[in-house]
Structure 1
């Protein structure tokens, strides 16, 4: 086992999922279906077969029935009951030789990239056997009109709950495999950086200056900043902000006020927290909280 189960459960329980439209699509023989970048996309094969070629992207291929895990270097055909999770790093195209029915759902995940370093594609062969309940939910997403592709907006509680259940099942399947980075979800493979990441995630409201983080990592400020960016692809300050904003969304969704959230996350004023939240999400925390309440009430 290459990961900490407690840390995995912490990540999964803290994910905030915002769903877009759930679509049930029918591909004819030779049909193509694009998977656009920019969003995490879940694809579930209801009937038929589809193929995907990851080309130059990092793809992890899980074969549940065979019990094998490998990096995918060429084209792969998926059958009914299989699933694909695209992290949205780049475009990909699904192809069906004989035809297929698929369900796709686009979503946004609120969690720091350093805590959830998914590969570009995760393919799960035999997903229905691995997670029968989640597969049954996936097959019912996006009800369609007779003979047409259907769209159901992903703003209802039921749809969001189903999508979240399926998404977490795919992530859990990936995490239990050897495709997951060693030590995931704290992937730095550097005990000093892991110590820093764990501390920020445990106490996002602490006054985390770069000097304080570097001291915790037993490095100079310059060396720490370089090693952190190399490991996680972002600056320490950006990571702290992402952790705080993810925690803020969790707290606001749970009913905490803007002031409570601001104080918990270490901001000196509600105005400062609101400015940071708007920069991160494009909307004020009070409006974001209201929108979440409206979704729950709908």
Structure 2
């Protein structure tokens, strides 16, 4: 865990990789990213990133799938904790958006926020490096992250498949497979078999849990993956192939229906934003 003191308009860049917890200790900042799947408050178009505003006491959690930039709106102190989630948490984390924010976190979790005020200070950092201090500090960082996720879920921002992933292990297996390989030639029958159900039972249980058909959900996952690929510079034909579309034309039509933009326009906007 590290503290960063930023002057107004100064930026802190956070590379993709490990999961990251960001907590605003003082001042105000903006969190800029191009998340593939995001909660309310984040712009869905790469030409309009819609930065998330973080006042003092607000927190954010990122899975590490996309680089982030924390930009101070005023003189600010930011706490950053890099986390390596345990393998057994992969199913729950896969249901999260790439980046989520919690406004008013300190008011919702005052005890944890008070603890965070002391994290990252030089004395605390020194204690973390001695003896069993590392385990204690890791536990405190984990507590801050878990509290952020809990506050986020309570706010009503949890995705539609959150309950299914946590409550139904058979549907969770199907959802994990879809997200792991959205470009595979999935059919309702193959997904039902993966979930150890008949086609009719699977279709009914899936719609009850997620509010849409398996085919509709798969299409949404593919489009979210397409947005990330294109914004990162992947060519349209390559994205189409990787996501299982038979032709670039079919992929382009589906993408435009989902986003209102052509794949090439989305890709160009994403590259311009990354360059800036």
TM-score by length of 1: 0.51
Q: Out of 135, 146, 169, which is 2:147 matched to?
A: 169
Q: Which has the higher helix share?
A: 2
The CA distance in 1 between the partners of 2:139 and 2:89, in whole Å, is 21
Q: CA offsets, 1:157-186, max 9 Å, x none?
A: 221221121111111112223321225143
The answer to which structure, 1 or 2, has the higher relative contact order (CA under 8 A, 6+ apart) is 1
How many Å apart are 1:105 and its aligned residue? Answer: 0.6
Q: Note if contact 2:38-2:100 (Cα within 8 Å) is conserved in structure 1.
A: yes
User: Any stretches of 5+ residues in structure 1 without a counterpart?
Assistant: 1-21, 61-69, 199-209, 220-225, 234-298
Aligned length: 184
Q: Out of 101, 121, 126, which is 1:143 matched to?
A: 121
The CA distance in 1 between the partners of 2:96 and 2:127, in whole Å, is 27
- The structure-2 alpha-carbon separation of the partners of 1:32 and 1:211, relative to structure 1 and needing over 3 Å to count, comes to closer
Q: Which has the higher strand share?
A: 1
CA RMSD, aligned part only?
Answer: 4.0
How many Å apart are 1:27 and its aligned residue? Answer: 0.7
Name the residue aligned to 2:194: 214
> Secondary structure of the residue that 1:109 maps to in structure 2?
coil
Name the residue aligned to 2:28: 49
Task: Check if 1:83 corresponds to 2:80.
Answer: no
- The structure-2 alpha-carbon separation of the partners of 1:102 and 1:230, relative to structure 1 and needing over 3 Å to count, comes to same
The CA distance in 2 between the partners of 1:43 and 1:118, in whole Å, is 16
How many Å apart are 1:113 and its aligned residue? Answer: 3.4
The CA distance in 2 between the partners of 1:98 and 1:23, in whole Å, is 19
The CA distance in 2 between the partners of 1:82 and 1:138, in whole Å, is 11
Q: CA offsets, 1:203-232, max 9 Å, x none?
A: xxxxxxx9996372225xxxxxx98x959x
1:3-152 equivalences under 5 Å are: 22-55=1-34, 57-60=36-39, 70-73=40-43, 74-110=50-86, 111-116=88-93, 117-144=95-122, 152=128
- The structure-2 alpha-carbon separation of the partners of 1:26 and 1:152, relative to structure 1 and needing over 3 Å to count, comes to farther
- The structure-2 alpha-carbon separation of the partners of 1:34 and 1:120, relative to structure 1 and needing over 3 Å to count, comes to same
The CA distance in 2 between the partners of 1:192 and 1:133, in whole Å, is 33
TM-score by length of 2: 0.55
How many Å apart are 1:136 and its aligned residue? Answer: 1.2
The CA distance in 2 between the partners of 1:217 and 1:192, in whole Å, is 12
